Amino acid sequence: MTRYIIKVEADPSSDKIWVILSTGNIKSQETAIAKEGDTIIDFENKPEEILIRRETSLLRTFSKWYCRYVTATSPDENTYYFPIFRNISAGLTTIKEKSGKLPCEDLSEEREKDLKDRNNYLVTLGWRQLEQTALSGEVPTEKPKEHNFLLGTSFLVKALSFSLKLFIVFRDETPLDTKIVNGLPRFTEAGSIFKLPSELWFDAPKLLTLIYYLVIIKIQRNVRQFWNMGHRWRTIEDIRRVFLFPSKKAEYISKNWKDDAFFGSQFLNGCNPLLIKKYTEDKQKIPIKKLKMFYPDIEASIMEGIIYVVDYELLDGIRENVISGHQQFLAAPIVLLKEEDNTLMPIAIQLTQKPADDEPIYTPCDGNAWLLAKIWVRNADFYIHELSSHLLQTHLVGEALFIAIYTSMSRKHPLLRLVSESGRFTLPINVIARNILVNEGGFFTQNTGLGKGAQLEILKRAFKQLTYQSLCLPDDLKNRGVENLSNYYYKQDGLMIWAAINKFCDAVVNNYYRNDSDIKNDYELQRFIKQLYQNGLSKCKGGWPNTLETREDTAKFLTTIMFTCSALHAAVNNGQYDTYAWMPNGPTTMRQPPPKLKEDVTEEYIMNTLPDINVTLESMSVAHFLSQPPSRNLLGQYSDEVKHEPKMKGPIEEFNEVLKKIEDYIDRRSKTQELPYEYLSPSSIENSITI
Ligand SMILES: [Fe+2]
């Protein structure tokens, strides 16, 4: 006989509660729960379910007794977990054992069937060229609780939930068809969210929040349009006319966007802080001879390691767009920056990739021409931010990660329970993005300078450069040589969040895996890694592991997944409206080519280059929609069932304590900053990519 210690987490009750351990056929003796101290049950087998009997008087038959969970711990410290999290009525209730289990601990038929079902989800419908799909430009087949407006509309939410459930019940389940296209991460074939398996859909509050913001933003756009009917931009200050409903940060940017120090700071703390690198003369794209004419000591500064570069080479030779019959223009600029007195100042801009004698180098002494060169850089930054840093590195990589893990592991696998939070709502939001933003007639083809096929070309180029290390923040910062850059808050906050996630993953991995052999023997985990390497990331030559050997490597890999789908996405997503609301700080297209002569550039020349009023309004609206405040599932928050599981409980509590400390630190720092950096404050980071 094994002596199990039973613990019941429930509301106090005056009723008599009985517990029976069971394997289905064999049952232990009925034992009353001790009101004080531990309850002991002797049972020979491993308990697979428990039976709870609540004995109450006739008068109290309809009274409620809320029970959270029950655990049964054997003398060798094996804990069996029975999550309940609901009211238990009078009479007998059966609850199944549900701790996360590695494959070697669970050889049940149920698990085998579950795995088979999940693998069947992966139906690859051939190798249709991407040129026929959305990304090429052709049409293919919530705030935190206290701020959420939906909390006051529970009737609406309930009604929508009910309709969704009804729809799910009467609908044939569709498999998760996916697509493999060379040169891009794997993505779902579904052309609408209703073609996804229903368990991957938005829930009612998320759907309502999306609809609410869509309506509000549409109304705002129409108000702006009505207000400015018949107007066109004559001066930069005219743009302020559409600047209704801006955020505080957008206001700040509209007043400081011309400032060189602010321009430099956006490479560190704007919505695209991933590009800046230490400058080496390797490629000689900007001839040093020419730089010396402006900065005689440039070589010494390079040697000193205080010169940095942002290079938009991905845009070189990309096809330009035509909007409403008007040719648009692109540049692939290179900007050099120097760190002096803890401030990063731009010192030179070249608007092309190839050095040429007649190719001007713009410097801060060039007046209007310098301002226009900076606007070209901001325009290039918009493309690379949205397509590479945002869409590819977070949304598409997150989708491939989720598809690989979702189809390789059983529901009972503890790591699936952990990581599935990182993929919540990612597939439906990506389906919507492919249908309205990057499709033919979508936002990009109508409002940006990128011509047909250009989005796909940029994505493919960016994916070629994407490596596993570039998604591991400490390695990425080291490889870019930016560890010593000061006032780089993305770096500071990102490293704190990275360390917190890594410590959490480490604790979870060590709780489930006794040693490195357990990792090698976990065939579901190994299958996930292989699936991701071979199909998910199209054998991308980026140092992605195709096997995991140690607990340390596994914790790092999980950290990369969680960080990418939470913090990295927050860093590149949450500041879109702040950054792009003031159009000159991030124009989505340019209507004139770069000037031949610096002297040609006047304010009128700049105004003729910037987007017109319609494109400005559309871009503001889209940026606003994409910068919705985070919904209810923040980093570190897990369902009741997961967060009380014995091997998860401690790490999740500790993780949340660390996140709280980071939040407090960022709050205190924000009070001292003119433009606070809060995109990586834990209360702004969602667990997954949902917008
Ligand atoms: Fe996003």
Query: DSSP labels for 156-191?
Result: HHHHHHHHHHHHHHTSPPPP-EEE--TTS--EE--S
What confidence tens digit (pLDDT) does each residue in 668-691 have? 999 999 999 999 999 999 999 989
Give distance in angstroms: CA of 384 to centre of ligand 1. Answer: 14
How many whole angstroms separate alpha carbon 646 and alpha carbon 296? Answer: 65
pLDDT of residue 100: 84
DSSP 596-635: SSGGG--HHHHHHHS--HHHHHHHHHHHHHHTPPP-S-BT
pLDDT, tens only, 166-181: 555 555 555 555 665 6
pLDDT number for residue 155: 61
Pairing of strands 123-124, 177-179: parallel
What spacing in Å lies between the alpha carbon of 631 and ligand 1's midpoint?
13
Ligand 1 center to 548 CA (angstroms): 29
Give the Å distance between the CA of 430 and the centre of ligand 1.
9
pLDDT bin (cut points 50, 70, 90) of residue 606 is very high
Query: What was the pLDDT predicted at 128?
Result: 30
Name the CATH architecture for the domain at 2-98.
Sandwich (2.60)
Per residue in 650-663, pLDDT tens? 999 999 999 999 99
Q: Which residues pair with 310 in a beta bridge?
A: 335
Q: What is the DSSP letter of 37?
A: S
User: Could you tell me the distance, in angstroms and rounded to a whole number, from the CA of residue 571 to the centre of ligand 1?
Assistant: 10
What separation in Å is there between the alpha carbon of 390 and the centre of ligand 1? 6
Instruction: Determine if residue 569 is labeled as part of a ligand binding site.
Output: yes
* Average pLDDT of the segment spanning 202-229: 80
538-553: average pLDDT: 84
Helix (H, G, I), strand (E, B) or coil at 218: helix
- The per-residue pLDDT for 229 is 67
What's residue 81's pLDDT?
Answer: 92
Q: Reduced to 3 states, what is the DSSP secondary structure of residue 372? A: helix
Distance 351 CA to ligand 1 centre (A): 29
Read off the pTM: 0.87
The domain limits of the chain are: 2-98, 249-385+575-612
Average per-residue pLDDT for the chain: 86
**620 Cα to the center of ligand 1, angstroms:** 15
Residue 484 has a pLDDT of 92
Q: What is the predicted pLDDT for the residue at 539?
A: 63
Query: Annotated binding residue at 385?
Result: no
Among candidates 475, 310, 455, which has minimal Cα distance to 396? Answer: 455
Contact 572, 274 (CB under 8 A): yes
Comparing 205-209, 374-378, 458-462, which segment has the lowest mean pLDDT? Answer: 205-209
Contact 464, 314 (CB under 8 A): no
Instruction: Give the mean pLDDT of 619-625.
Output: 88
The full length of the chain comes to: 691
Looking at the DSSP bridge assignments, the partners of residue 73 are 5, 79
If we measure between CA atoms, which residue out of 174, 149, 3 comes closest to residue 76? 3
Residue with tokens 């397509």: 387
CA distance 654 to 660: 10
pLDDT at site 127: 26
Of residues 444 and 515, more confidence is placed in: 515
Cα 480 from Cα 191, distance rounded (Å) = 38
What's at 409, amino acid-wise?
M
pLDDT at position 543: 82
Q: Which helix (H) or strand (E) holds 79?
A: strand 79-87
First to last CA, the chain: 54
576 C-alpha vs ligand 1 centroid, how far in Å? 9
Q: What's the longest Cα–Cα distance across the chain?
A: 96
- CATH 3.30.70.3270 for domain 249-385+575-612, yes or no, is no
Q: Would you say 395 is a known binding-site residue?
A: yes
390 labelled binding-site residue: yes
Check whether 570 has a pLDDT greater than 90: yes
Question: Ligand 1 mean position to 690 CA, how many Å?
Answer: 7
Give 634 Cα–ligand 1 centroid separation in angstroms.
Answer: 15
Q: How far is the CA of 395 from the centre of ligand 1 (A)?
A: 7
Which residues keep their CB under 5 angstroms from ion ligand 1? 573
Question: In this prediction, what percent of the chain has a pLDDT beyond 90?
Answer: 49
pLDDT surpasses 50 at 130 = no
